[in-house]
Amino acid sequence: MVFLEKLFKKHEDYTEQITKARQWILEADAIAVYIGSGLSAAGGLDDKKSRLVKEYFRDYYRMGYRSLKELQEMYAHMTEQNAKAYWGYWARYIKEIAYQFELSNGYKDLLRLMRNREYFICTTNIDGQVQKAGFEANRIWSLKGDCRFLKCSQACCPKAYESKELLDGIIKSMGGNLEVQANKIPRCPHCGMYLIPDVEMDCLVESIGDSQGQLEAYKRFIEKHKNEKIVLLELGIESRDLIQMASRDDRVWGETSCVQLVKMNNSKDDLKGESYNESANKLKDEMISIKMDLEEAMSQLASGIISM
């Protein structure tokens, strides 16, 4: 019986909900998009599964690591002791995942949906997919930062440096090992201390910086549109994303006269349909929940939208 229920659920038809969601998006004055780990996972970048470690980080796989999440927790912070191993992991992650991993279809469809629309994207993902998709940089707030950029480990100044040119030299210095040579670790041009990727893996709200003014841009977006017709589009938000997205200013949306919420997820870990936005949870009539493969859902949502 349970099996049959599951089978039925798997094939549940969301055509009606997706059509309605598309209509909302087309009629909205502005769309606030919240992207969590589920959208990347649907495109093959699942940091909880072993496939990526097996394929891109084989030596760690042999050591027993089974997810990128585990590795990122291990290298969440650089210390004097782990600096060489820390950079050994991150240099490869930045190159292979953030720069080289192919852009997945869910993001392509989202770009098509947002073209010529008023939108803003908040994401907890650090895998570079949002940036690769070609959304305007001043319409993205990456809560956990952007690992393609480097910052001073001592925070001597807020400047961020692109890492692309440095990566090959760093990786080459490893000579097949897991550690970078100390003299190849990039250094801050101002104070001479090590540079580190511009990411905040803990991502406690208090620790989130705004070196590139993204949070300020998000606040301006809310301010500009708060009395208009808004669609909140949540894509693949899991509970861990939600904790990190419980931002200081989100609730302001709940005060607007017209907020519609579209939740798309295929994870068991989605807080039983609760939105990260407490006020939006009260808008039951104006909420659509779509629980199916996200790439398929995005493809259906964007169908009929002509990309210019």
Q: Give the nearest distance from C-beta 87 to Zn ion in angstroms.
A: 16
Looking up tokens 């990456």 gives 142
Q: Is 156 in the site for Zn ion (CB under 5 A)?
A: yes
Distance separating the N- and C-terminal Cα atoms of the chain: 48
**Cβ 117 to Zn ion, closest distance in Å?**
39
Can you give the three-state secondary structure of 186-233, one letter per residue? CECCCCCCEEEEEECCCCCHHHCCCCCCHHHHHHHHHHHHCCCEEEEE
Positive or negative torsion for Cα 125, 130, 131, 135: negative
Instruction: State the nearest-atom distance from the C-beta of 160 to Zn ion, in Å.
Output: 12
Nearest CA among 202, 101, 211 for reference residue 150: 211
d(CA 52, CA 56): 6
Residues 177-216 that bind Zn ion (CB under 5 A): 188, 190-191
Closest contact distance (angstroms) between CB of 80 and Zn ion is 16
- Contacts of 23 by beta carbon, 8 Å cutoff, 6+ apart: none
User: Smaller CB distance to Zn ion: residue 58 or 190?
Assistant: 190
Contact 187, 193 (CB under 8 A): yes
Asked if 25 is part of the footprint of Zn ion (rule: CB under 5 A), the reply reads no
CB of 152 to Zn ion, least distance (A): 3
How near is the Cβ of 102 to Zn ion at its closest, in Å? Answer: 34
Nearer to Zn ion, 67 or 154 (CB): 154
- Neighbouring residues of 210: CB distance < 8 A, sequence distance ≥ 6: 216
* Residues binding Zn ion: number (CB under 5 A): 5
Assess 159 for contact with Zn ion (CB under 5 A): no
Q: Select the span of 110-118, 146-154, 163-171, 247-255 touching Zn ion (CB under 5 A).
A: 146-154
Per CB under 5 A, does 78 bind Zn ion? no
DSSP 93: I
Among the residue ranges 35-43, 149-157, 217-225, 252-260, the one whose residues contact Zn ion (CB under 5 A): 149-157
Residue with Cβ nearer Zn ion (43 or 145): 145
At residue 241, φ and ψ (nearest 5 deg) are -65, -40
- Contacting range for Zn ion; rule: CB under 5 A; set: 62-70, 72-80, 144-152, 160-168: 144-152
Residue 152 binding Zn ion, by CB under 5 A: yes
**Where along the sequence are the contacts to Zn ion (CB under 5 A)?**
152, 156, 188, 190-191
